[in-house]
Amino acid sequence: MKNMLFSGLVLATAVASAQSVMTPELLWKLGRVGLDDAAPSGWVAYGVTRYDLEANKGNRDLFLVHAATGETRSLAAEPGSEVSAVFVKGGTRVAYVHQGKLKSRALDGSDVRVHLDVPGGASDVKLRELANGQWVVAFVTREQLDQTPAERHPETPKANYAVFDDLMYRHWDTWTDYHYNHVAYALVYPDAPNPATEYTDILKGVRGHAPLPPFGGAESFDLSPDGKFIVYAAKLATGKEFALHTNSKLYRYDVATATTTELPGLSGYDGNPRISPDGRTLAFTAMPTDGYESDVNQLHLLDLTTPGAQPKRIDAAGEYVNDLKWVGATSLVLNVTQEAFNQLLRIETKGAQPTVTPLTSGDYDFGAFDYAGKLLVAERMDQNQANELYTLGAKGAAALTHVNDADYAKIARGRVEKRWIPTSDGKKMLTWVMYPPNFDPAKKYPALLYCQGGPQSTVSAFYSFRWNFQVMAAQGYIVVAPNRRGVPGFGRAWNEQISTDWGGQAMKDYLAAIDAVAAEPYVDAQRLGAVGASYGGYSVYQLAGIHEGRFKALVSHCGLFNMESWYGTTEELFFANHDLGGAYWDRPQPKSYGEYNPRNHVSKWTAPLLVIHGGNDFRVPLNQGMEAYQAAQLRGIPSRFLYFPEEGHWVMSPQNALVWQHEFFNWLNQWLKP
Cα(30)–Cα(381) distance, integer angstroms: 13
Rounded to 5°, the CA angle 510-511-516 comes to 105
pLDDT tens, 612-669? 999 999 999 999 999 999 999 999 999 999 999 999 999 999 999 999 999 999 999 9
| pLDDT for the residue 352 | 83
Residue type, 547: H
Told to judge if 649 belongs to the known catalytic residues of this protein, a careful annotator would answer yes
**What is the rounded distance in angstroms from the CA atom of residue 674 to the CA atom of residue 671?**
6
Read off the pTM: 0.94
Instruction: Please compute the mean of the pLDDT values over residues 666-673 and round it to a whole number.
Output: 97
CA nearest neighbour of 290 among 597, 573, 619, 658 = 573
Could you tell me if 507 and 542 are in contact, meaning their C-beta atoms sit under 8 angstroms apart?
A: yes
| 667, 610 Cβ separation under 8 angstroms | yes
Average pLDDT over residues 439-453: 98
**304, 279 Cβ separation under 8 angstroms:** yes
Residue 391 near residue 376 (C-beta atoms within 8 A): yes
Q: How far apart are CA 497 and CA 475, in angstroms?
A: 35
Paired strand residues for 174: 171
Pairing of strands 385-393, 375-382: antiparallel
pLDDT attached to residue 7: 39
- Confidence band for 394, pLDDT divided at 50, 70 and 90: confident
Are the C-beta atoms of residues 184 and 91 closer than 8 Å to each other? no
> Over the stretch 202-221, which tens digit does the pLDDT of each residue have?
999 999 999 999 999 999 99
pLDDT score at 123: 96
Predicted confidence at residue 19, as pLDDT, reads 53
Q: Is the dihedral of CA 643, 646, 649, 655 positive or negative?
A: negative
Domain ranges of the chain: 411-672
Given the residues 104, 534, 539, 592, the one annotated as active site: 534
User: How far is it between the farthest Cα atoms of the chain?
Assistant: 75
Q: Are 173 and 648 in contact (CB under 8 A)?
A: yes
Give the DSSP per-residue string, 320-346: BEEEEEESSSSEEEEEEEETTEEEEEE
Pairing of strands 135-144, 170-171: unpaired
Q: How far is CA 621 from the centre of its chain?
A: 20
* DSSP codes joined into one string, 493-542: HHHHTTTT-TTTHHHHHHHHHHHHHHTSTTEEEEEEEEEEETHHHHHHHH
Whole-angstrom distance, CA of residue 144 vs CA of residue 194: 28
Q: Whole-angstrom Cα distance, residue 599 to residue 567?
A: 14
CB 232 within 8 A of CB 284: no
- Percent of the chain residues topping a pLDDT of 70: 97
Backbone angles phi, psi at 662, to 5 degrees: -65, -40
The architecture that CATH gives domain 411-672 is 3-Layer(aba) Sandwich (3.40)
Strands of the sheet containing 32-38, edge to edge, are 32-38, 43-52, 57-66, 72-76
- Among 182, 245, 300, 649, which one carries the catalytic annotation? 649
Residue-level pLDDT at 413 = 95
| pLDDT above 80: residue 573 | yes
Amino acid at 648: G
* SS3 label, residue 74: strand
467-517 pLDDT, tens per residue? Answer: 999 999 999 999 999 999 999 999 999 999 999 999 999 999 999 999 999
222: enclosing H helix or E strand: strand 221-223
17 — pLDDT class (breaks 50, 70, 90): very low
Orientation angle between helical segments 505-518 and 535-546, nearest 10 degrees: 70
Catalytic residue among 173, 295, 617, 639: 617
Q: Can you give the pLDDT at residue 9?
A: 39
Contact predicate 262/207, CB 8 Å: no
Q: Is 534 marked active-site?
A: yes
Question: What's the average model confidence in pLDDT over 171-184?
Answer: 96
